[in-house]
């Protein structure tokens, strides 16, 4: 590959690791409340777990197969694994330095203290013994093991303890037993404290009383460890005769897949480590010795402790959107004008209310909806089931291949089928990632179609922590497009040309390239040209090259990319007119918003799709124009706000690294600005509608 070509792109995996570093930077920021810092640290560990399961697992398979095909940066799978190992090792060291040297001592100062066995008072030791005998010893079971043949099947990402027992008379080899903690084990053992919260970890409690599991034996070592299994396993649903059964097989296969990472306490002996490596078939490069507690992601639980509000952020409850009158039907609200909501600043309740009203409305004839990820007790799923039971025609596309939510989606699919909902398990060969609900309603002037189209999932829980956009409209042409869209998914028909929507994999990338190239041509003709995009990830080479061409023509390009960005901004002669920033803050940035100046006839879109090959080629996604002027203005304002951020924005550098903004005073936090504006909008609406006093009148 041409060396000039490789310098056009940043490696996808290394860019993701830089994203996780930005999350870790938030954990290290002493200006952030302490328990919020712990939350960010837990997130980085959870992120790494998924990265190793999926990305590293997939690369290991390719490397083992001898694959030499390079990525756009010219790296083979084996070369990428080497680079990942080096970068991930540095990140892990930074994680534990942050926890052990900074966050944990600070927690102890504020009364949240982890106690090792040697730190406990006599009273605390007795309490630990009591908890062990009542809650731990009766539940956990040691499993003797000598080789891979009798090694227990360990659950992915659960904690275990490997005990090494002294050799018996006449033998020289140590004996080993594994104590699996399982998925429901309580990691934090609460201990007596004069004030605050004192705890010890489950593995330390087991270590203290390990001899109870092995009476008459000498326990020489008790070491916590944890494995990561390869989750880059897929179902060939284009050939699957029963997708539901095959997805169940996939979930079972993940429980038995190869170990791609072994995490073990740093103090583990060479004997114990060698035994685990041999039985789990793990090479040295995939062993991670950790200098502190394993599974830092578990420490998320401590961030919910009661009585420590001073160590948390001020809560930002979602605001009721002022344009939605709670006394009016959602259908009346949407029929008057398009409604744009920006979650979690705007409450998700109107979305739930729309679907619940549709379920009980006798004039609603049909509801069609996509479901990618939902909450455990989803009110939306309940409403869809109720609608079907009331005789409405309800069709739901449940994506069974939503990674790590497969089991929940299988459960919801069965529940909906039992309620007589027509359930479609996605599209063969593709993931249905589009977010749309179509409601068909009989009205005095004929049938009208109401739409909800969003960038986020139909999940009222994550809608409080993810930043997303949704549009509610009864636009006739979008309604016609929605009907075409659902017919194409649920039937065998080829999708017709949409009037306003664009959908992947058939035309979304083409629409984007067309819009980018139109800005390029206008600039070449001496006109003003401007592109602004907010996505989670930018990987697609065709879009990147189109943006490079736009930059070279002089188009101003501003990119807000939370995670992976394979584009190199600010490179002379290539991308000097491109600026890219990433924002990590209290809410997960998840919305996709696109703006094109378009000769002054501004075009604004929202989308479910990131700019990645998987989104544009292997998923069913939607790109939706927002044409209502008020909604357009708000989206443009939101984009502008992100580029004014000086507190949480990180600027992407040409080498793939990131640089924090320099600012004086308080600086600007885009998320705080958006939340305060939502609060002000509610306040202004109340002031414009003063309370009316209505007297009680005498009964006639």
Pairing state between β 603-607 and 393-398: unpaired
Do residues 279 and 151 make contact, with C-beta atoms less than 8 angstroms apart? yes
Do residues 596 and 602 make contact, with C-beta atoms less than 8 angstroms apart? yes
**DSSP 3-state assignment of 482?**
helix
Tokens of 651: 């600027």
Whole-Å CA distances, 567 to 53, 514, 545, 604: 25, 19, 9, 22
Helices 34-51 and 77-98 meet at what angle, rounded to 10? 160
Identify the CA nearest to 254 among candidates 280, 237, 232, 239: 232
Do residues 267 and 223 make contact, with C-beta atoms less than 8 angstroms apart? yes
- Active-site option among 433, 530, 590, 598: 433
Reply yes or no on whether 530 is catalytic.
Answer: no
**DSSP 3-state assignment of 439?**
strand
**DSSP 3-state assignment of 694?**
coil
The CA distance from 558 to 577, in Å, is 8
Geometric angle at alpha carbon 193, from 189 and 198, rounded to 5°: 40
Residue 445, burial from CB neighbour count under 10 angstroms (0-12, 13-18, 19+): exposed
The CA distance from 265 to 207, in Å, is 13
The CA distance from 648 to 641, in Å, is 12
The CA distance from 645 to 647, in Å, is 6
**CA dihedral in degrees (58, 61, 66, 72; nearest 10)?**
0
The CA distance from 529 to 599, in Å, is 7
Contacts of 142 (CB under 8 A, 6+ apart): 163, 177, 178, 179, 213, 214
The CA distance from 160 to 145, in Å, is 14
Residues known to be catalytic = 433
């Amino acid at each position: 590959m041409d060396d000039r070509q490789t310098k056009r792109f940043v490696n996808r995996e290394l860019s993701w690791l830089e994203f996780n570093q930005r999350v870790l930077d938030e954990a290290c920021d002493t200006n952030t409340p302490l328990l919020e810092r712990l939350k960010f640290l837990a997130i980085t560990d959870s992120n790494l777990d998924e990265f190793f399961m999926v990305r590293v697992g997939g690369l290991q398979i390719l490397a083992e197969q001898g694959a030499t095909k390079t990525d756009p940066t010219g790296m083979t799978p084996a070369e990428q694994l080497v680079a990942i190992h080096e970068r991930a090792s540095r990140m892990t060291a930074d994680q534990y330095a942050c926890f052990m040297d900074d966050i944990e001592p600070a927690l102890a100062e504020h009364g949240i203290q982890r106690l090792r066995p040697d730190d406990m008072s006599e009273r605390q030791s007795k309490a630990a013994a009591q908890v062990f005998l009542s809650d731990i010893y009766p539940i956990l079971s040691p499993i003797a093991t000598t080789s891979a043949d009798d090694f227990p099947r360990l659950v992915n990402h659960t904690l275990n303890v490997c005990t090494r027992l002294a050799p018996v008379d006449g033998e020289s080899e140590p004996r080993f037993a594994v104590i699996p903690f399982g998925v429901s084990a309580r990691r934090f053992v609460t201990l007596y404290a004069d004030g605050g919260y004192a705890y010890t970890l489950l593995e330390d409690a087991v270590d203290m009383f390990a001899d109870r599991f092995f009476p008459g034996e000498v326990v020489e070592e008790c070491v916590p460890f944890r494995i990561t299994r390869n989750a880059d396993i897929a179902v060939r649903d284009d050939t699957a005769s029963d997708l539901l059964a095959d997805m169940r097989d996939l979930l079972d296969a993940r429980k038995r897949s190869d170990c791609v990472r072994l995490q073990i306490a740093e103090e583990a002996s060479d004997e114990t480590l060698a035994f685990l490596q041999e039985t789990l078939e793990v090479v040295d490069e995939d062993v991670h010795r950790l200098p502190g507690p394993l599974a830092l992601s578990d420490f998320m639980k401590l961030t919910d402790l009661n009585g420590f509000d001073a160590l948390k952020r001020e809560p930002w409850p979602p605001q009721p959107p002022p344009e939605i009158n709670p006394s009016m039907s959602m259908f009346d609200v949407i029929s008057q004008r398009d409604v744009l909501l920006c979650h979690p600043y705007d409450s998700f309740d109107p979305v739930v209310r729309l679907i619940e009203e549709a379920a009980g409305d006798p004039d609603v004839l049909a509801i069609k909806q996509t479901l990618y990820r939902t909450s455990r007790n989803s009110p939306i799923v309940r409403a869809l089931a109720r609608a079907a039971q009331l005789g409405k025609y309800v069709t739901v596309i449940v994506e069974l291949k939503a990674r790590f939510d497969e089991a929940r989606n299988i459960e919801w699919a069965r529940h909906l089928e039992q309620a007589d909902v027509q359930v479609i398990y996605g599209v063969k060969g593709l993931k249905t990632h589009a977010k749309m609900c179509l409601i068909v309603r009989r009205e005095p002037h004929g049938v009208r179609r109401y739409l909800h189209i969003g960038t986020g999932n139909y999940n009222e829980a994550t809608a409080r922590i993810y930043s997303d956009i949704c549009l509610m409209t009864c636009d006739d042409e979008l309604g016609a497009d929605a009907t075409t869209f659902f017919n194409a998914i649920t039937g065998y028909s080829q999708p017709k040309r949409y009037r306003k929507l664009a959908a992947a994999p058939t035309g979304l990338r083409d629409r984007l390239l067309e819009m980018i190239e139109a800005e390029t041509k206008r600039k070449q003709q001496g006109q003003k040209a401007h592109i602004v995009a907010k996505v989670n990830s930018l990987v697609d080479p065709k879009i990147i090259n189109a943006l490079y061409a736009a930059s070279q023509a002089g188009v101003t390009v501003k990119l807000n990319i939370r995670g992976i960005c394979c584009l190199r901004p600010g490179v002379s002669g290539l991308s000097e007119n491109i600026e890219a920033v990433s924002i990590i803050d209290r809410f997960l940035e998840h919305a996709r918003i696109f703006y094109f100046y378009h000769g002054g006839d501004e075009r604004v879109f929202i989308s479910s799709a990131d700019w990645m090959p998987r989104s544009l080629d292997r998923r069913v996604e939607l790109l939706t124009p927002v044409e209502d002027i008020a909604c357009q203005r708000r989206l443009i304002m939101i984009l502008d706000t992100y580029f004014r951020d000086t507190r949480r924005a990180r600027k992407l550098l040409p080498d793939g690294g990131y640089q924090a903004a320099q600012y004086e005073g308080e600086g600007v936090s885009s998320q705080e600005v958006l939340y305060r504006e939502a609060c002000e909008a509610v306040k202004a609406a109340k002031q414009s509608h003063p309370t009316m006093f209505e007297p009680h009148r005498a009964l006639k």
